[in-house]
Structure 1
Amino acid sequence: MPQITVDYSAQLKHGFDHDWPAFARDLHTTVVEIAAAKLPACKTRFRPTEDVFIGHDEEAEYALVHIHIALLPGRTEETKARLTEAVLELVRKHVRAVGDLTLHASAEVRDLDASYRKFESE
């Protein structure tokens, strides 16, 4: 915990200022500062997707970034909203839409289900 997933349009692969680790570090720091998570517990995976469709305009070129953050329950709705806004600011800072792409960015913070379990092997 937290479990973070960054889904993004494949054409943005080089749009994260060419520095995925810096984006992940800033993201983890933000989650720690706002949601009181533990830094060693922050886990982020980046998932490119080839097919993204937005609206009905097949001529327009769009790119998508959506960040899912799943936390153990206990944060207030205000804390989750602050975290969501801060994450979107990080996207503004780190992500550059290349060419004529219009970037659609979104974020969501939710509670992990009560069934969530984990282990670490040594």
Structure 2
Amino acid sequence: MPHIIIEYSAALSDTHDMAALCARVFETAEATGVFPDPSAIKVRALPCPFSLIGTEPQSFAHVTVHLLAGRDEATRTRVTQAILATLDDSLADVGSLSVDIKDTNPATYAKRTL
């Protein structure tokens, strides 16, 4: 944990390096100090081929951070603000940028790694 999922307007793949964005978001998450084991951080980006938002330009990136429950509000805010700053720096011309944290229940979260 965490799982960091970047959903974005598919057309951004034509104008922005989404692999580089994943790397920057990974580095940002690590730099917060909230996740002491970098091997636990997972970042992925998913293009959304169809979307409609209420702002211009018609482009967006939204990050959902899935965390094991139990972190206080100040910690959660530190993570969302750091990731939003990275998005803003990397995607300055994108119409809407947002970040949210969703709690994952540690009792029901299952994981397998090699």
Residue in 2 that maps onto 1:53: 52
Q: After the TM superposition, which residues 8-47 of structure 1 pair with which residues of structure 2 at under 5 Å, given as runs?
A: 8-16=8-16, 18=17, 20-21=19-20, 23-34=21-32, 35-47=34-46
> What CA RMSD, in Å, does the superposition of the two structures yield over aligned residues?
2.0
Q: Given the two structures, how large is their TM-score scaled by the length of structure 1?
A: 0.79
Indicate yes or no: 2:108 matched with 1:109. Answer: no
Distance in 1, Cα, partners of 2:27 & 2:57 = 32
Q: Which amino acid aligns with 2:109?
A: Y
Aligned length: 112
- Larger C-alpha radius of gyration, 1 or 2? 1
Residue in 1 that maps onto 2:75: 79
Asked if 1 retains the 8 angstrom alpha-carbon contact of 2:6 and 2:46, the reply is yes
Q: Which amino acid aligns with 1:32?
A: E
The Cα shift of 1:92 comes to 1.0
Q: Secondary structure at the match of 1:120?
A: coil
Indicate yes or no: 2:91 matched with 1:95. Answer: yes
The Cα shift of 1:42 comes to 1.0
Q: Which amino acid aligns with 1:53?
A: L
Structure 2: stretches of 5+ with no match in the other structure = none
Q: Given the two structures, how large is their TM-score scaled by the length of structure 2?
A: 0.84
Identity of aligned residues (%): 26
Of 62, 65, 70, the residue aligned with 1:66 is: 62
Q: Secondary structure at the match of 2:59?
A: strand
Structure 1: stretches of 5+ with no match in the other structure = none
Query: CA 1:68–1:81 in 2, change beyond 3 Å: closer, same or farther?
Result: same
Asked if 1 retains the 8 angstrom alpha-carbon contact of 2:22 and 2:45, the reply is no
The Cα shift of 1:65 comes to 0.4
Q: Secondary structure at the match of 2:69?
A: coil
Q: Secondary structure at the match of 1:44?
A: strand
